[in-house]
């Protein structure tokens, strides 16, 4: 089985994915890291020197490669399941189980406010109010994709270990 973690940026996909993979002795793949290695540049550089369309094409190609890895926990980028046929590609794969790490707008804003400079989609936002509004709008657009997951875990006020435990209880 391949476990696919989806959710908005800052929802804990990478942290939870690493811990989950350790616990169940699976490989861990962060799709953004995989893309950066493949492109030999950071996501931030890809957005700056190429554009988002180039990134989304590379993201799709990379997704098709990584979902073929068995016994892996894969953390997707926040937008990955929302573009093109990515979600149907995952949903139609016989070995994939999709897990949505669902954070509230408020908790995501709190987490992301200190990380803005490393996040190309939100780096330009100057105030917490602008960030809150941006996340709210994005979540409204992306929720229909995320909500198609096999498992939904509400992450507010949970530690990484508590989120992992919740996933394990749902899976096994």
- The percentage of the chain sitting over the pLDDT mark of 90, rounded to a whole number, equals 83
pLDDT at 113: 86
Whether pTM exceeds 0.85? yes
Q: What is the pLDDT of residues 99-118, one digit of tens each?
A: 999 999 999 999 898 887 77
Residue 98: pLDDT band by 50, 70, 90 thresholds?
very high
Instruction: Tell me if 117 sits within 8 A of 123, measured CB to CB.
Output: yes
Residue 163 inside a domain? The answer is: no
Mean pLDDT of 130-138: 93
Enclosing domain of residue 28: 2-103+146-155
Residue 54 inside a domain? The answer is: yes
Residue 10 inside a domain? The answer is: yes
Residue 24 inside a domain? The answer is: yes
Task: Transcribe the chain into DSSP letters.
Answer: -EEEEE-STTSSHHHHHHHHHHHHT-EEEEHHHHHHHHHTS-HHHHHHHS-HHHHHHHHHHHHHHHTT-SSEEEEPPTTGGGSTTHHHHHHTSTTEEEEEEE--HHHHHHHHTTTGGG-TTTTT--SHHHHHHHHHHHHHHHHHHHTTSSEEEE-TT--HHHHHHHHHHHH-
pLDDT at 88: 96
Round the average pLDDT of the chain to a whole number and report it.
93
> Residue 73: which CATH number?
3.40.50.300
Residue 51 inside a domain? The answer is: yes
pLDDT at 43: 87
Of the listed ranges 93-102, 115-124, 134-143, the one predicted with least confidence: 115-124
Taking residue 129's Cβ as centre, other Cβ atoms within 10 Å add up to: 10
Pairing of strands 96-102, 2-6: parallel
Instruction: Tell me if 56 sits within 8 A of 84, measured CB to CB.
Output: yes
Residue 96 inside a domain? The answer is: yes
Alpha-carbon span 108 to 112, nearest angstrom: 6
Q: Is the pLDDT of residue 166 over 90?
A: yes
Q: What is the pLDDT of residues 46-92, one digit of tens each?
A: 988 998 899 999 999 999 999 999 999 999 999 999 999 999 999 99
Of the listed ranges 30-39, 125-134, 147-156, the one predicted with least confidence: 125-134
Pair of tokens at residue 33: 């890291």
Mean pLDDT of 20-46: 95
Alpha-carbon span 44 to 48, nearest angstrom: 6
Domain count, the chain: 1
Closest Cα partner for 75 from 141, 144, 2? 2
Residue 66 inside a domain? The answer is: yes
Pair of tokens at residue 161: 């270990």
Residue 129 inside a domain? The answer is: no
């Amino acid at each position: 089985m391949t476990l696919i973690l989806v959710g908005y940026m800052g929802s804990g996909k990478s942290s939870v994915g690493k811990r989950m993979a350790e616990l169940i002795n699976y490989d861990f793949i962060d799709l953004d890291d995989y893309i950066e290695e493949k492109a030999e540049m950071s996501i931030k550089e890809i957005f700056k020197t190429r554009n988002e369309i180039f990134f989304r094409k590379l993201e799709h190609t990379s997704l098709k490669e990584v979902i073929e890895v068995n016994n892996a926990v894969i953390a997707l980028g926040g937008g990955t399941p929302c573009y093109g046929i990515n979600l149907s590609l995952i949903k139609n794969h016989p070995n994939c189980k999709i897990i949505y790490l669902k954070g509230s707008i408020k908790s995501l804003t709190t987490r992301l406010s200190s990380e803005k400079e490393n996040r190309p989609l939100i780096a330009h936002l100057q105030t917490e109010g602008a960030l809150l509004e941006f996340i709210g709008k994005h979540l409204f657009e992306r929720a229909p994709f995320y909500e198609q997951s096999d498992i939904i875990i509400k992450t507010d006020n949970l530690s990484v270990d508590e989120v992992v435990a919740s996933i394990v209880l749902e899976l096994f």
